Structure 1
Amino acid sequence: MKLSIKKYGALLAKYMKNSKLSLFLLALILGGSIGLQLVNPMLISFFIDGIGANKPMNDLIKAAVLFIIAAFTQQLLAIASTYLSQNIGWRTTNTLRRDMVKHCLSLDMNYFKEHPSGELVERIDGDVTALFNFFSKLFISFANNVLLMVGIILVLAFKSPLIGLAFTLFLVLAFSILGRTQKDAVDNFGKDREITTKFYGFLGEHLDCTEEIKVNGAGSYCLERFMELLRKWLPIRLKAHLSGYKIWITLSGLFGMGDIMIFALGGYLWYKGNITLGLVYLMINYFQLLENPLDQLREQLMDIQKATASIIRIEELLKLTSSIKDDGTASLGEEEELSLSFEEVSFSYEKEIPVLQNITFDLGAGKVLGILGHTGCGKTTLARLVVRFYEPDSGNIYLNGKKQQDILLKDIRKSIAYVTQEVQLFHASVRDNITFFNPGIPDELIISTICRMGLKDWYENLKEGLDTVLVPGGGMSSGEAQLLTLVRVFLRNPRLIILDEASARLDPVTERFLENALSTLIEGRACIIIAHRLSTVQRADNILILDKGRMLEYGQREELLKNKNSRLNELLSFGIEEVLV
């Protein structure tokens, strides 16, 4: 798991291009802080030697005042650097999160079927959070720590070449050992990030299924799987962090030996009269000062290791491409009506397991197609192909006579509304739930549409009107929630509407509200109604009956009803729900 400096540079250049001024100021502040860290011990050294040499009191007072000013300025610079680095880190990581979310939304549905929501949360948030220090000040701080050590050696070499040489040899030894001890750390942190993602994927998946787990008494089984995952995680986490602590232990040993070396060398040179007592203090202070940048370098190496593992995983995600190629150039225009045609369309989620086979039908502009069939016959899959969630294995789909692949994907999604029986509500206001956070839709239009959908009484009971915050899973009946999703469709004003068992969870009274609303909604629009109840498709012009992914029957509803041998008539004679469900 190696990452080139070029890739580090490319990532920094891409996401920090809008923070150049802040980076420049941060570099200046950290540079000034380095200078003050070098000057302060020199002022104290001057003060110590001045007392021994009986220098004038004014000179000593000046040195003391300068020291106080420098120390105070250093604290101010520390505050400023913290503010700037936090600001840079948040801006850049949020930009990266935005890009990752945008990329995930562009992937096809196969990716989301294979990766649970918790895994995606850990990828988008966990991996990016690990890059916070990398973006905020890691490389600038790393460079400044190196410059501080170089500055210490140059000052001491100027005072005494022997002392400068001793410090240089110590740093060479320290870096050599650091390089050896961090060799396997990147791989360890990469494995840790990987199993962390699996853990959050498991957690998200099972939290989504809490009700089913309780109903089926599977709590103990899920808990056992949970503990099994934790048992696998522990040794990997320990190995990753021990690879970092190994560097800390090594540094502690190095500085223990270094203290002995400095005290022995300083004491010997002072005893021989080669250096002053102030220089002995400077040696000791600078050596202790070295411990901080070296310790920071240790932490920064760990951060770089974590960042490297995260960058590699982020790159893997960003390199994924959707099987749905949005390279069409044709537009559906602004025509009010939309027609749909399937021509010998076949599809399978897995190879050699067909879900749809040789489906052919035409849905004229403004017409209604009712699709009937038992559970698992391919009704929902057909609807997903219409909105181009998947590509057919063979055959073609046409919209207004244009091949689906040749049409801009945004035009397809804009022109078609797909309503399922699974209602998705956000923890947000009623307004945002209906408009999908589009502030351009006026409140008057939203309220009038709510009333048209039969939700007037529900709306009037909301304490804060459109500003009332909805909580998913609470506060609304299934019927009200389903009607609320249809309000979204009204406001979108699509040209083709797909209702996939949209009335399956509605009581008879609410379903009548739905039927009345649909009469207005589908007027002048093409519509596909997927159902298992004949009453739901009474308004259909054509009927398509599916069985095991094949077309069992297709034709005009009136013609099929007249034909006593039709499958539709057979279903009527036996009771459609008994036959299909």
Structure 2
Amino acid sequence: MPKEMTKEKKVSMTWLFQYLRPVKGRLVILLVMLLVSTGLQLISPQIIKRFIDTAAAGGVLTTLIQLAGLFLVVAVLNQVINVAVSYLGNDVSWRATNRLRGDLLKHCLRLDMRFHNLKTPGEMIERVDGDVTSISNFFSMFIVQVIGSFVLLAGILGFMFTVNLPIAIVMTVFTFVSILFMAFIRNLGVGPSKDEREASASLFGLIEERIAGIEDVQANGNVPYVMNRFHQLMRTVFLKGRKAWMIRVIPWNTTVILFALAVTAVLLLGVHYYLIGQISLGTLFLIYQYTQMLNDPIEMLGDQVQEFQKAKSGMLRSRELLSHRSSIVDGEQELLPQGALGLEFEKVSFSYNKDKPVLRNINFTVKPGERLGIIGRTGSGKSSLSRILLRLYNIDSGVIRVGGIDITTLKLPALYRRVGMVTQNVQLFDGSLRDNLTLFDAGVSDGSILKTTEQLGLRKWIDAQPSGLDTHLTAGGSSLSAGEAQLFALTRVFLTKPSLVILDEPSSRLDAATETMLQIAVDQLMEECTGIIIAHRLATLEKADKILVLSDGEIIEFGARKELAQRPNSHYARLLATGTEEELA
């Protein structure tokens, strides 16, 4: 066997035992039940053999009734145990694979944005759930069918050697040839099965992506295009699935042919020995019954080879996902200075793709408690600047300091506890209004929530809800207007009492009256923190201490707001003089 194949097998079994270890108690019970079930299956044909031989010899009716009753009890007991084994097997599989699902989801949530930009949510759902389901199907039946099949095979063959040696040899040869063949081709369908899973992931990615953008799809008449892409991917799934299935059923087809040959040989030998008087009629039936029983575990093993190939592809894809490492390395430092935090960018350069810089040699300093307004045309790098500050991406070069400390040396939770960001896109989660405002932080009191929402103008909306803070919200955000969503985002951030807050145009979707009220509230809430305001309207920057103007990823202007406003040739002064905000868009 090639070293690579041995290594893959070792890894697969390591995975199996890693996730089965926590349910080892249930596994022991399951194995005991399997042994009992196997014993009952082996006993049943022997009861029938005695019944036939007793009847053929003219035995008493009482004995026949007792044997029939015993057979009925064994059959019922065996059925009850089989149901229990099936239930416990599925219970074990779901407990084991749910841990794997949890590990995959946790790992995905820790990966950086570069990874998630390349993967659609639909694809990730298929990776976390679809791939693991194939593993779960294998787990649920592996112990029940594979181990149970081997125990049953051993029992049948062992007993047959005590009945008739030639027939036992024929049955043993059939068994070993079938098992060796299945072991030889067990990895044959792994590659095609992996391709099938990848095609399915692409299909789910398309569905999720198009549903998420349903407004654009409908408004621009793109439904025919979407359906065309859907049919193309469905055809790919069908073709790859058909190829994988045709390869996976090879073991089953082979065992059917081998079994037909084995049954023919066994029956010919059995009839021969019966005709010459070496075996009784009951023994002939016993041989036939055991031969038929021999096919069941062989077929089960063939089915499990198919499941193994699908599970192996799921394991490989899951291991591949877990092998991804985030480029964002957590630091060691947990403490930041108390109070408002200063911010410093020193020779910072950043790019999403190496050949296309987004920010180049960015240098500026914001003192604790100051407010910095950032303006620039679309694509100038404003949002990228906030993303690298929150370490959603690594910078290419330079240093970013918060409170005088390099952010790469900080633990991420320590950074996120003190630095907050308000974006224009608000994600609601399935849960109560309270949980959505606090992001499931039970340590935030209702009093603090109501006080903050009162300041921001969201309190009236909360009071209008049927159950107040206990009102259930659905995921997606359809229950909020654009303005309410903006207030929602502000409340979330200010409830954390940040020392440095980034506001991405907090009033862009509010009417004039609400905007005025909101600005007063934001001014109050920002009295004890440093503020970074990404502006699309000049009115937002009236309270800013400094202005930074970006263009094509470079700083073209930076300084005190009042000073820049009074300097006629400054970019900021020209914007104020013309009274237009087009250059900010």
Alignment TM-score > 0.5, same fold: yes
Is 1:40 the counterpart of 2:62? The answer is no
Give the drift of 1:159: 1.2
Q: 1:216 matched to which residue of 2? A: 220
Q: 1:538 matched to which residue of 2? A: 542
Change (3 A) 1:11 1:445: same
Does structure 2 retain, via aligned residues, the 8 Å contact 1:134–1:304? yes
Q: 1:488 matched to which residue of 2? A: 492
Does structure 2 retain, via aligned residues, the 8 Å contact 1:332–1:400? no
Q: 1:101 matched to which residue of 2? A: 105
Change (3 A) 1:439 1:81: farther
Identity among equivalent positions (%) equals: 38
Correspondent of 1:350 among 348, 353, 356: 353
Q: Could you tell me which amino acid in structure 2 is paired with residue 386 of structure 1?
A: L
Q: 2:425 matched to which residue of 1? A: 422
Please give the residue correspondences for 1:266-277 in structure 2 after superposition, counting only pairs within 5 Å: 266-277=270-281
Give the drift of 1:52: 2.0
Aligned partner of residue 533 in structure 2, secondary structure:
strand
Is 1:359 the counterpart of 2:384? The answer is no
CA distance in structure 2 between the aligned counterparts of 1:443 and 1:289, rounded to whole angstroms: 67
Does structure 1 retain, via aligned residues, the 8 Å contact 2:341–2:402? yes
CA distance in structure 1 between the aligned counterparts of 2:337 and 2:40, rounded to whole angstroms: 67
Taking structure 1 as the reference length, the TM-score comes to 0.95
Change (3 A) 1:513 1:274: farther
Q: 1:468 matched to which residue of 2? A: 471
CA distance in structure 2 between the aligned counterparts of 1:17 and 1:178, rounded to whole angstroms: 27
Give the drift of 1:543: 0.8
Does structure 2 retain, via aligned residues, the 8 Å contact 1:545–1:552? yes
Q: 1:65 matched to which residue of 2? A: 69
Q: Could you tell me which amino acid in structure 1 is paired with residue 33 of structure 2?
A: I
Q: 1:306 matched to which residue of 2? A: 310
Aligned partner of residue 548 in structure 2, secondary structure:
strand
Q: Deviations over 1:12-39 (max 9, x none)?
A: 2322221110111111111111111111
Q: 2:374 matched to which residue of 1? A: 371
Q: Deviations over 1:409-437 (max 9, x none)?
A: 22112211111111111233212221222
RMSD: 1.9
CA distance in structure 2 between the aligned counterparts of 1:227 and 1:255, rounded to whole angstroms: 41
Q: 1:80 matched to which residue of 2? A: 84
Q: 2:532 matched to which residue of 1? A: 528
Give the drift of 1:252: 3.0
Taking structure 2 as the reference length, the TM-score comes to 0.95
Give the drift of 1:470: 2.2
Aligned partner of residue 253 in structure 1, secondary structure:
helix
Structure 1 unaligned regions, length at least 5? none
Q: 2:395 matched to which residue of 1? A: 392
Structure 2 unaligned regions, length at least 5? none
Q: Deviations over 1:95-131 (max 9, x none)?
A: 1111111111111111111111111111011111111
Does structure 1 retain, via aligned residues, the 8 Å contact 2:423–2:489? no
Please give the residue correspondences for 1:286-305 in structure 2 after superposition, counting only pairs within 5 Å: 286-305=290-309
Aligned partner of residue 302 in structure 1, secondary structure:
helix
Change (3 A) 1:439 1:53: farther
Give the drift of 1:385: 0.9
Q: Deviations over 1:356-389 (max 9, x none)?
A: 1111111211211110111100000000011011
Q: 1:404 matched to which residue of 2? A: 407
Q: 2:156 matched to which residue of 1? A: 152
Question: Which piece of structure 1 moves more, 471-480 or 171-180?
Answer: 171-180
What is the count of residue pairs matched by the alignment?
580
CA distance in structure 2 between the aligned counterparts of 1:465 and 1:79, rounded to whole angstroms: 48
Aligned partner of residue 231 in structure 1, secondary structure:
helix
Q: 2:16 matched to which residue of 1? A: 12
Change (3 A) 1:137 1:333: farther
Question: Which piece of structure 1 moves more, 1-10 or 209-218?
Answer: 1-10
Q: Deviations over 1:512-540 (max 9, x none)?
A: 23213212221210110001211111111
CA distance in structure 2 between the aligned counterparts of 1:513 and 1:279, rounded to whole angstroms: 95
CA distance in structure 2 between the aligned counterparts of 1:13 and 1:443, rounded to whole angstroms: 46
Does structure 2 retain, via aligned residues, the 8 Å contact 1:542–1:555? yes
